[in-house]
Structure 1
Amino acid sequence: MFTVKVSDAILEHCKNQINAYNFGKRYTANGSKQQQLTGIIGQSVVMHLFNKGLIDGKLGFDNGVDIMYNNLKIDVKTMGRTTNVRSNYTNNFLKLQDYFETEVYIFCSYHKTKQELTICGWIDKERFTKKRRFYPKGSTRKRFDNSTFITFADLYEIDNNQLNNCNSIKDLKEQLNVFKK
């Protein structure tokens, strides 16, 4: 895992995008504006790290492909937190996003109070489908701190320690460069 500071410029860009465009266009489970902002922040920071600019809402729905890199269709998944990330923390993934043509997922955590994004790791879709755990809508999920929540949609989970670890953007790019579909 590695952590980067989210610049004020990127944060402001993301807020402007959320105010100007509706990023919740699924038939259900579209997330609140705050959840959408968290996702847009993660995507924009990772795009910036890959020298791909920033998200532009006027381009419309991206079919789950946030970045093309080394001919790979990559989806950036970001969860908002108020604590530092640990290797045993869990990432959530909505089942309704499973049909996208994504080939690789990069999982991130956005620390809302520190304004930092941690790139937790990455996994290809094939390995993800083998390692993830499924929880139907309405399931009670227990977090690491023993707090609970009820799933609002069918959900998959995968822990950070099940992802391919990367220690820098250079390391992440090198791993993706040698990954074979």
Structure 2
Amino acid sequence: MFTVKVEKRIIRHCKTVLETHNFGNRFTANGTKDQQLTGIIGQSVVMSFFDLGLMDGLGGCDLGVDLIVNNKTIDVKTMGRTTDVKKSYTNNFIKLQDYFKTDIYIFCSYHKNKEELTVCGWIDKDTFITKRRYFPKGTIRTRTNQTTFTTFTDLFEIDNCHLNTVSNVLDLKKKLNHPLNFNKS
């Protein structure tokens, strides 16, 4: 895992994108405006690592393709938090997005108070399918700090310890560009 400070200009850009585009077009599980902003920030920061600009929202629903690296489609999944990320933490993934033609997931956490993005790691979709856990809508989940929440939709979870590790931006770029890191040709 590694953490970067999110530049103020990126946060301002992401807020503008959220104000000028409607990302709540699915029949369910669209996320709150705060959750949408968290996702836009995560995607924009990761895109900036690869010099791909920032998320602009012009294409509408991206169908799980936030960026393409080494001919692999990548979906950046970002959770909002108010604590620093730990290796024992879990990432959530809504089942509704499972059909997207995504090759790789990059899981991130955005610390809202510190305005920092932690890249928790990445995983190819085939491995994600074998390591994730499923929880139907309405399941009561208990966090590591013993607080609970009820799933608002069908949900998959994957722990940070099951993700491919990355130590910095260069390491992430190197691993995503290496063809031997993927199950698919």
Tell me the residue number matched to 2:143. Answer: 143
2:132 matched to 1:132? Answer: yes
* Shift of residue 174, structure 1, vs aligned partner: 1.1
> 1:152 is matched by which residue type in structure 2?
F
Instruction: Supply the distance in 1 between the matched residues of 2:160 and 2:56 (Cα, whole angstroms).
Output: 28
Instruction: Supply the distance in 2 between the matched residues of 1:8 and 1:59 (Cα, whole angstroms).
Output: 24
Identity %: 62
* Shift of residue 59, structure 1, vs aligned partner: 2.1
2:97 matched to 1:101? Answer: no
* Shift of residue 24, structure 1, vs aligned partner: 2.2
> 1:83 is matched by which residue type in structure 2?
T
Tell me the residue number matched to 1:47. Answer: 47
Secondary structure, counterpart of 2:52 in structure 1: coil
Deviant stretches of 4+, over 2 Å = none
* Shift of residue 173, structure 1, vs aligned partner: 1.2
Tell me the residue number matched to 1:152. Answer: 152
> 1:85 is matched by which residue type in structure 2?
V
Tell me the residue number matched to 1:27. Answer: 27
Instruction: Supply the distance in 2 between the matched residues of 1:4 and 1:78 (Cα, whole angstroms).
Output: 14
Q: Compute the TM-score of the two structures, normalised by the length of structure 1.
A: 0.98
> 2:30 is matched by which residue type in structure 1?
N
Instruction: Supply the distance in 2 between the matched residues of 1:27 and 1:52 (Cα, whole angstroms).
Output: 30
Tell me the residue number matched to 2:90. Answer: 90
- Contiguous gaps of at least 5 residues in structure 2: none
Instruction: Supply the distance in 2 between the matched residues of 1:131 and 1:82 (Cα, whole angstroms).
Output: 26
Instruction: Supply the distance in 2 between the matched residues of 1:57 and 1:4 (Cα, whole angstroms).
Output: 23
> How many residues matched?
181
2:5 matched to 1:14? Answer: no
Q: CA RMSD in A?
A: 0.7
